[in-house]
Structure 1
Amino acid sequence: MQFQGAFTALVTPFKNDQVDEDAYRKLVEWQIEQGIDGLVPCGTTGESATLSHEEHKQVIKICVDQAKGRVPVLAGAGSNNTREAIDLTRYAKEAKADGALLITPYYNKPTPNGLVAHFKAIAQEVSMPFVVYNVPGRTGLNVQAQTMARLFHEIPEVVGVKEASGDLKQIAEVVEACGPDFTVLSGEDFTVLPLLAVGGHGVISVTSNIAPKMMSDMCRAFRAGEQNKALGLSLELLPLCRGMFLETNPIPVKTALSMMGMMDLELRLPLVPLTPENEAALKALLTDKGLI
Structure 2
Amino acid sequence: MKNINIEGIVAYIPTPFDKSDQISLKGLEILIDRLIKKGVDAISPLGSTGESAYLSLDEWKSVTQKTVEFTNKRVPVIVGASDMTTANCIEKAKYAQSVGADAIMVIPMIYWKLSEDDIFNHYKHISDAIDIPIVVYNNPSNSGFDMKPSFIARLFNEIENVKMVKDSTGDIQRVHEIRLLTEDKLPIYCGYDPIVVDMLISGASGWCTAAANIIPELNIDLYKAIKNKSLAQAYELFNKQYRFLKFIIEEGGLSKTVKSGLTFMGVNVGNPRLPISPLYQDKLNELKIIMTELNIVG
Band the TM-score falls in, shorter-chain normalisation: over 0.9
Kindly report which structure 2 residues correspond to 1:167-246, keeping only aligned pairs within 5 A, or say none: 167-245=171-249, 246=251
Structure 2 residue corresponding to 1:250, chosen from 230, 255, 272: 255
Kindly report which structure 2 residues correspond to 1:271-286, keeping only aligned pairs within 5 A, or say none: 271-286=276-291
Listed as ranges, the gaps of 5+ residues in structure 2 are none
Shift of 1:107: 2.4
Structure 1 residue corresponding to 2:15, chosen from 5, 12, 17: 12
Q: What is the rounded CA distance, in whole Å, between the counterparts of 1:291 and 1:90 in structure 2?
A: 39
Aligned to 2:164, the other structure's residue is in SS state strand
Please tell me whether the aligned partners of residues 138 and 168 of structure 2 are also in contact (alpha carbons under 8 angstroms): yes
The residue type paired with residue 291 of structure 1 is I
Q: What is the rounded CA distance, in whole Å, between the counterparts of 2:143 and 2:194 in structure 1?
A: 20
**Partner of 1:160 in structure 2?**
164
Number of aligned residue pairs: 292
Q: CA RMSD in A?
A: 1.3
Question: Identity across aligned pairs (percent)?
Answer: 29
Kindly report which structure 2 residues correspond to 1:1-292, keeping only aligned pairs within 5 A, or say none: 2-15=5-18, 16-245=20-249, 246-292=251-297
Q: What is the rounded CA distance, in whole Å, between the counterparts of 2:193 and 2:78 in structure 1?
A: 18
TM-score by length of 1: 0.96
CA distance 1:248–1:221, shift in 2 (3 Å): same
The residue type paired with residue 287 of structure 2 is L
Question: Which deviations, in whole Å up to 9, do the C-alpha atoms of 1:42-82 show, x marking residues without a partner?
Answer: 00100001011111111111111121111110000012310
The residue type paired with residue 54 of structure 1 is D
Question: Which deviations, in whole Å up to 9, do the C-alpha atoms of 1:113-141 show, x marking residues without a partner?
Answer: 22211111111111210001111001110
Q: Which runs of 4+ in 1 moved over 4 A?
A: none
Listed as ranges, the gaps of 5+ residues in structure 1 are none
Shift of 1:280: 0.6
Please tell me whether the aligned partners of residues 259 and 270 of structure 2 are also in contact (alpha carbons under 8 angstroms): yes
Please tell me whether the aligned partners of residues 189 and 206 of structure 1 are also in contact (alpha carbons under 8 angstroms): no
Please tell me whether the aligned partners of residues 175 and 200 of structure 1 are also in contact (alpha carbons under 8 angstroms): no
CA distance 1:82–1:13, shift in 2 (3 Å): same
Q: What is the rounded CA distance, in whole Å, between the counterparts of 1:93 and 1:183 in structure 2?
A: 21
Question: Which deviations, in whole Å up to 9, do the C-alpha atoms of 1:11-63 show, x marking residues without a partner?
Answer: 01100211111111011001011111111000010000101111111111111
Q: What is the rounded CA distance, in whole Å, between the counterparts of 2:182 and 2:262 in structure 1?
A: 37
Q: What is the rounded CA distance, in whole Å, between the counterparts of 1:102 and 1:71 in structure 2?
A: 20
